[in-house]
């Protein structure tokens, strides 16, 4: 579904029923384009697999935090997973509910904790004893009890990029598995905390189910030990991280993934507990593309460069993770293809969007960078004083501008020169 909503019709790439050419002409480039149908289909795959089970889905806001994107999910009664006070504000502004939001992240400030407690978030996913101490103090100061779940590091290899692997002993995240029982006892003894669950998140862009099952097995073993210590666990949060197809990856279908995890939990005798999923990339990744226009063709001795108006500040994943994104012409040319490195205008050799791509293109042509709905705009910056791209949402044959393109003057509006 997510691939078919971005398809060529009469030789021209369309987003649902809208030509990508018309989008670029109307809104300019670089331009992020999202499909409401793709977002909805991905959500329904999760929701359908959870139907009739003690399972719920919390959208990982960090993957794509645009208010319209979040609102699409909020209208379908989604829960949310946040990692900052700013993301909580976005969830509420988008129509989401605090009582259906879990607060993750390793460095919550006292102010963020206070705001989340006042708003009434569903649970805090806590990652250290110092964080427990701070949350207990903040909750006590305002006369609240904070619901907590400990994020336990199961030391499971997710077999993904080291920058987005989060479940190993060497990662900064979570409570060490061997320390978890003692940490739970410490949490249960704090007067302003209420232990409600256990949480893990082993990484991102995971394309196999087996690492999840390994993590679940370890968590359930730990749950039994924790409850033997007299601490009740009501829910199990298995995190997010399910991968998508960028190139030739073959991740499991969403419904197969969800049912396989739930079946393992049931088979281990824990089906009476609530289960939380926290997907991000698998909901939004292939629901978005980035449109960019060719500026120059620059032949070289060792490489040919295709220079476009999008850059590493617009899409950081290739430079940061050596990530692959499919790049294709919006209107195909019949001319012979050449091999290019697709690069942007930013003054860095690391400013590339695709290497060694076979393309037939000329200056002025439009290209579509696929699978840009997750960790695209949210990671963009104003490096080189470049205004960030506009974002639009396509809904059938209707187009909504959901974030206006920045103007250069906005970028330094909060700055000032020294006095004369």
Predicted confidence at residue 172, as pLDDT, reads: 61
| Higher per-residue pLDDT: 234 or 333 | 234
| Residue 270 CB neighbours (<10 A) | 18
Range(s) for CATH 2.40.37.10 in the chain?
6-35+285-411
Is 400's pLDDT higher than 60?
A: yes
Q: What is the mean pLDDT of residues 254-261?
A: 97
* Binding-site residues for pyridoxal 5'-phosphate: 241, 278-281, 375
Catalytic residue (choose from 50, 123, 200, 347): 347
**Cβ neighbours of residue 58 closer than 8 Å, sequence gap 6 or more:** 78, 79, 80, 81, 100, 101, 102, 276, 277, 278
Range(s) for CATH 3.20.20.10 in the chain?
105-277
Angle value at C-alpha 133, between 131 and 137, nearest 5 degrees: 115
Cα dihedral 319, 202, 193, 186 sign: negative
**Cβ neighbours of residue 75 closer than 8 Å, sequence gap 6 or more:** 95
Cα 367 to Cα 283: distance, rounded to the nearest angstrom: 23
Cα 277 to Cα 71: distance, rounded to the nearest angstrom: 19
End-to-end CA distance of the chain: 60
Is 157's pLDDT higher than 80?
A: no
pLDDT, tens digit, 9 for 90 and up, residues 161-171? 454 444 445 56
* Binding-site residues for substrate: 281, 317, 321, 348, 375
Q: Whole-prediction pTM value?
A: 0.94
Cα 142 to Cα 150: distance, rounded to the nearest angstrom: 22
At residue 356, the 3 state secondary structure works out as strand
Predicted confidence at residue 214, as pLDDT, reads: 92
Cα 120 to Cα 40: distance, rounded to the nearest angstrom: 27
pLDDT, tens digit, 9 for 90 and up, residues 1-13? 445 799 999 999 9
Phi and psi torsions of 411, nearest 5°: -70, -25
Cα 385 to Cα 381: distance, rounded to the nearest angstrom: 9
pLDDT, tens digit, 9 for 90 and up, residues 104-148? 999 999 999 999 999 999 999 999 999 999 999 999 999 999 999
Q: What is the mean pLDDT of residues 402-409?
A: 98
pLDDT, tens digit, 9 for 90 and up, residues 67-78? 999 999 999 999
Q: Is 123 a catalytic residue?
A: no
Average pLDDT, the chain: 94
Q: Which CATH class is domain 105-277?
A: alpha beta
- Pick one of 3.60.21.10, 3.40.50.1980, 2.40.37.10, 3.40.50.150 as the CATH number of 6-35+285-411: 2.40.37.10
Predicted confidence at residue 173, as pLDDT, reads: 73
């Amino acid at each position: 579904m997510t691939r078919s909503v971005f398809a060529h019709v009469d030789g021209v790439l369309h987003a649902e029923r809208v030509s990508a050419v018309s989008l670029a002409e109307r809104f300019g480039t670089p331009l992020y384009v999202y499909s409401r149908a793709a977002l909805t289909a991905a959500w329904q795959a999760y929701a359908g697999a959870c139907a009739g089970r003690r399972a719920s889905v919390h959208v990982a806001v960090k993957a794509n935090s645009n208010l319209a994107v979040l609102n699409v999910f909020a209208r379908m009664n989604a829960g949310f997973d946040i990692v900052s006070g700013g993301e909580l504000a976005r969830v509420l502004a988008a129509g989401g509910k605090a009582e259906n939001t879990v607060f993750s992240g390793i460095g919550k400030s006292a102010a963020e904790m206070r705001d989340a407690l006042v708003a009434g978030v569903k649970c805090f996913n806590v990652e250290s004893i110092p964080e427990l101490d701070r949350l207990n103090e903040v909750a006590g100061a305002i006369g609240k009890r904070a619901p907590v779940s400990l994020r336990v590091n199961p030391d499971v290899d997710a077999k993904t990029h080291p920058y987005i692997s989060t479940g190993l002993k060497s990662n900064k995240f979570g409570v060490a598995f061997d320390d978890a029982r003692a940490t739970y006892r410490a949490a249960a003894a704090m007067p302003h905390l209420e232990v409600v669950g256990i949480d893990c998140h082993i990484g991102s862009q995971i394309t196999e189910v087996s690492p999840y099952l390994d993590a679940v097995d370890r968590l359930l073993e730990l749950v039994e030990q924790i409850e033997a210590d007299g601490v009740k666990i009501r829910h199990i949060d298995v995190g997010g991280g399910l991968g998508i197809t960028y190139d030739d990856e073959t991740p499991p279908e969403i419904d197969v993934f969800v049912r396989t995890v739930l079946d393992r939990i049931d088979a281990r005798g824990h089906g009476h507990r609530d289960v939380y999923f926290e997907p991000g990339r698998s909901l939004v990744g292939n629901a978005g593309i980035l449109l960019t226009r060719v500026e120059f063709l620059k032949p070289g001795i060792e490489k040919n460069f295709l220079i476009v108006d999008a850059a590493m500040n617009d899409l950081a994943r290739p430079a940061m993770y050596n990530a692959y994104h499919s790049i294709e012409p919006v209107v195909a040319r019949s001319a012979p293809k050449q091999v290019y490195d697709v690069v942007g205008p930013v003054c860095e050799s690391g400013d590339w969007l695709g290497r060694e791509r076979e393309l037939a293109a000329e200056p002025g042509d439009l290209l579509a960078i696929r699978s840009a709905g997750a960790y695209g705009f949210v990671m963009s910056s104003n490096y080189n004083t470049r205004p960030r791209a506009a974002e639009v949402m396509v809904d059938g044959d209707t187009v909504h501008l959901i974030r206006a393109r920045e103007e250069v003057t906005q970028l330094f509006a909060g700055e000032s020169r020294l006095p004369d």
